[in-house]
Amino acid sequence: QVQVVESGGGTVQAGGSLRLSCVASGGLFGINDMGWYRQAPGKQRELVADITRGGSANYEDSVKDRFTISRDNSRNTVYLQMIGLKPEDTTVYYCNADAGLRRYWGQGTQVTVSS
């Protein structure tokens, strides 16, 4: 069983920065793709950014100039560096880890951007 734990959320003013972290642990096999998703009230969960095991990253268009996703050397942690935060970025951010036969979700971390 893989455990996925996010951290780093908080409250910042518009234009501020946050770095989210996600640790995936407990699996017998290596983690493949990892990604960050967000879900606003009344909307379905959507991809923010994801990254392959080899380090190839993709971004949702509205964040690609402001957010950077990365993985550490052990491939068990993924980060989302967020700069130039906007009020519309406010929501819960979820980490996803693909372990091959199953995808695991974290509990989410709240990001709030005030104007």
Specify the pLDDT at position 91: 97
Specify the pLDDT at position 82: 98
pLDDT tens digits for range 43-77: 999 999 999 988 999 999 999 999 999 998 576 89
112 in Cβ contact with 89 (< 8 Å): no
pLDDT tens digits for range 2-29: 899 999 999 999 999 999 999 998 876 7
77 in Cβ contact with 71 (< 8 Å): yes
Q: How far apart are CA 71 and CA 6, in angstroms?
A: 14
Burial class of residue 26 in the structure, from the number of CB atoms within 10 Å of its CB (0-12 exposed, 13-18 middle, 19+ buried): exposed
91-98/103-105 β-pairing: antiparallel
Specify the pLDDT at position 76: 83
Residue type, 31: I
Least confident of 6-10, 50-54, 90-94, 99-103: 99-103
